[in-house]
Amino acid sequence: MANVSPGRSDISTHPDVSEMRARYERMLGGRDVALVDGPVFLLGLYCAVSPWVLHYSSSQPALMTHNLIVGVAIGLLALGFTAAPARMYGLSWAMCALGVWMIIAPWIVGDSPDAGVAVNNIIIGALAVILGMMCAFTAARSAPRT
């Protein structure tokens, strides 16, 4: 029997290797922080449902609405980071601003929040600041130098 299966060879001998490498680089788009998109979306999802998870929807109705709106905003930022990373990573600092707002919101929006509500928002806010800074610093590091 004849050996009809081609042997594995190095791709560098392929006639279109430069075009294939360029297409691969365009497809990746310099995405160094792709692993951050999922946690950002999950953080937004948790922020949106946290009033019902921690059962403070009846004691803090203003914070319930607030967390729902901010959670949806964080989730939309995460979807934007995934769908159009070249344009959206400039908004990473907005993620940090949302995190700082989440930290101080229980005392501004809420009506004398208890410790559980405050700790929940502080943790969500701190994670938003950390993830936003990770996105911002990685985007700044991978930006082309002029």
Angle of helix 92-108 relative to helix 115-142, nearest 10 degrees, comes to 170
pTM: 0.74
Whether the Cβ atoms of residue 36 and residue 131 lie closer than 8 Å to each other? yes
Residue 143 has a pLDDT of 58
Q: Which residue has the higher pLDDT, 91 or 127?
A: 127
Lookup: tokens for 81: 């980071």
Tell me how far the alpha carbon of residue 37 is from its chain's centroid: 4
Q: Tens digits of per-residue pLDDT, 40-75?
A: 999 999 999 999 998 887 788 899 999 999 999 999
Lookup: tokens for 20: 């294939």
